[in-house]
Amino acid sequence: MKHASVKSELRIRRILAGKTPFNSLNFGGSHLNTVVGMKNNPFYPFFVRGCNWFGRDPNNAKAYNRRGLAYSGQGNYTQAIEDYAKAIELDPNYTDAYYNRSAAHFTQGDYVKAIADFTNVIRLNPNDANTYSNRGAAYFTQENYVKAIADFTRAIEINSNYAKAYYNRGATYAELGNDAQAIADYTKAIELNPKDVETYHSRGLAYRRQGNLEQAIADFTKTIQLAPNYAEAYNNRGDAYGKQGNLEQAIADFTKAIQLDPNYTLAFNNRGNAYSNLENYEQAIADFTKAIQLVPNYALAYSNRGLVYSIQGNYVKAIGDCTKAIELNPDSADAYFGRGLAYHKQGNLEQAIKDYTKMIELNPKNAFVYDNRGVAYYDQENYKQAIKDFTRVIALDPKDAAAFNNRGNAYGKQGNYEQAIADYTKAIQLDPNYVLAFNNRGNVYSDQGNLEQAIADYTNAIKLNPKYVGAYNDRGLAYRKQGNYEKAITDFTRMMELNPNLAVAYINRGSAYYKQGNYTQTIADYSKAIKLNPNDALAYNSLGCAYYMQGNYTEAIADFTKSIELDPNFAEAYSHRAQAYKQIGKIELAEKDEAMYPQGNDNAERAKKLCTTLLHQREGSSSKVEYTMLTPPKNTQP
């Protein structure tokens, strides 16, 4: 039985930008207005001296608070915290000191103490929206999203026009995966502040996660209009264009991001992905290499470069890059996938399966890797396990036509033709333009002897892809089985027009001519096939049969001899040569050849099995090759 090879496609993961930016603190209002811009103010030294003047009174809480502000302005938060603490010690209800100390703690990354101080401010002033928003920011940083949302909500209740509180609550919902609520909050923030760059950008990220690429692009474009030098907005818009399939525009945006920030590693990585999808592999490798130069520990860039090397057939480099990615990040599912794919293409199926399995452990809901592992099991002829993996793909994605096609291949190999046909039929229902599924179903019908249905399926495959060589080959074979040699020859000839260097076309057309008794044309076709593939023992044997039928026993013997040189265990070639020797009266040589295949029918059966092989085409299909194995009359004497 013949089957198309199951897909083993390359997936290059397109990486998005990082988390939604977060407007963490809003120390506005009465608390810190006095310090805004103070560090760069020419009167700043006088302010410090004024603080020292206040400091002459050891019980002046305001003086300590002001000096703490000055230290904060200098970036000396440790000294600032000491002064705020002293102010609080002198006045336990000093709201501003609690608030300012919370800001210093937050800046130092001590969120527990920051939250404690914010809580004291709220105790002293329960209607301060800023403080609720800032405490929410601290909770957010601790990943305590429930409390963060509660504080942002309270800030909004106190001040319904508080744009930053809406923004920050939206960012928190985004972290929880609730993009619908995030978008609602971002939209309200935009209504209150239509020129806030970050809000448009963050809403664009949320729309992109939802798959609403048009709206995402609109928001990123608005971001760029408000901030023309915003590199990240260009990068993210490029990603959205890439997801739409607009790769040229994606590359333009990634390039602009790189122009604005020549060290923008992520943009190089993403542009590399886009170039790879355009099959510009050299430029893709250049971009991934640049990303690695900028960040030598960038595991993802190694993984992506490895995938491209794999596409190019440079499996050693592919395995090296993916291995490096795994060393840098042992939990990199993409790297295990890429390395598994390279091992798979090398023919190292055991190692490929190990890597695919590791990726499954890291990402058990990724249908694609189950599919590729199923391919590896199929290639190992472990059809039972292949079926399990393809079935898992179908469970994860019931609309995956390729998974049904692949499972059909495995069922066919098991001889379960009815289930194979059912799977191919389902694949066609899901994708009526699925050329390979039509061709594969035709193969099964052909093996069942249902040649009319097989020819109908091959014809459908050809209608969908008039350049599909494999379908012409398989339909030609079906016509040949029907005895319709003229149509068979037409199909094999069409194969030659599509690919003049395809030996199988000449072999199969030669076989059809042989059936017609046109031995001259048979010899021409087999000779051409041998020129294209000089090491084909079966082709030499078949050519010898044609010469034999012409009565040219000397040439027949030469070809049978060449067949035996290429395959010393080829029993039928010995048998055919023995018959040719008898025709020219060399009985002793004939008897020697006959002695070479004492098992008789067992060797003949082996020869019949050898007469059919598979030729894999680039698009992943297969073509059956049928050689002429018609034994000349054994009892004919010269």
pLDDT in tens, 517-562: 999 999 999 999 999 999 999 999 999 999 999 999 999 999 999 9
Query: In the structure encoding, which two tokens stand for residue 627, read together?
Result: 């050689």
Side-chain-side CA neighbours of 243 within 13 Å: the count stands at: 20
- State pLDDT tens for residues 28-83: 333 332 333 344 543 354 355 445 555 466 789 999 999 999 999 999 999 999 99
What is the spatial distance between Cα 392 and Cα 3, in angstroms, rounded to a whole number?
A: 21
Name residue, tokens 């592919």: 318
Q: Residue 612's beta-bridge partner residues?
A: 626
Domain boundaries, the chain: 21-125, 433-500, 523-638
Q: What are phi and psi of 386, to 5 degrees?
A: -60, -45
CA-based nearest residue to 564, from 581, 549, 552, 551: 581
Side-chain-side CA neighbours of 441 within 13 Å: the count stands at: 25
Residue 456: pLDDT band (50, 70, 90) is very high
How confident is the model over 599-609, as a mean pLDDT? Answer: 37
What is the spatial distance between Cα 321 and Cα 219, in angstroms, rounded to a whole number?
A: 36
Helix (H) or strand (E) holding 283: helix 281-294
Residue 498: pLDDT band (50, 70, 90) is very high
Side-chain-side CA neighbours of 377 within 13 Å: the count stands at: 24
Query: In the structure encoding, which two tokens stand for residue 190, read together?
Result: 């935009």
CA-based nearest residue to 453, from 482, 490, 487: 482
Side-chain-side CA neighbours of 26 within 13 Å: the count stands at: 21
| pTM of the model as a whole | 0.73
Q: What was the pLDDT predicted at 603?
A: 39
Side-chain-side CA neighbours of 603 within 13 Å: the count stands at: 16
**Topology of the domain comprising 433-500:** 1.25.40
CA-based nearest residue to 167, from 191, 144, 143, 147: 191
Considering only residues 10 and 119, tell me which one the structure prediction assigns the higher pLDDT: 119
- State pLDDT tens for residues 574-603: 999 999 999 999 999 999 998 887 543 333
6 secondary structure, DSSP code: P
Is pLDDT above 90 for 16?
no
433-500 and 523-638 share one fold? yes
Is pLDDT above 90 for 147?
yes
Query: In the structure encoding, which two tokens stand for residue 458, read together?
Result: 């091959």
Which CATH code is given to the segment(s) 21-125? 1.25.40.10
Q: What was the pLDDT predicted at 524?
A: 97
In 3-state terms, the chain is what percent helix, strand and coil (to 5)?
75, 0, 25
Specify the range with the lowest mean pLDDT, choosing from 147-161, 219-233, 599-613.
599-613
- Amino acid making up residue 542: S
Q: What was the pLDDT predicted at 214?
A: 97
Q: What was the pLDDT predicted at 235?
A: 97
What stretches of 273-392 adopt beta strand conformation (E)? none
Residues 6+ apart with CB under 8 A from 580: 544, 548, 553, 556, 557, 560, 632
**Topology of the domain comprising 523-638:** 1.25.40
Q: What was the pLDDT predicted at 596?
A: 80
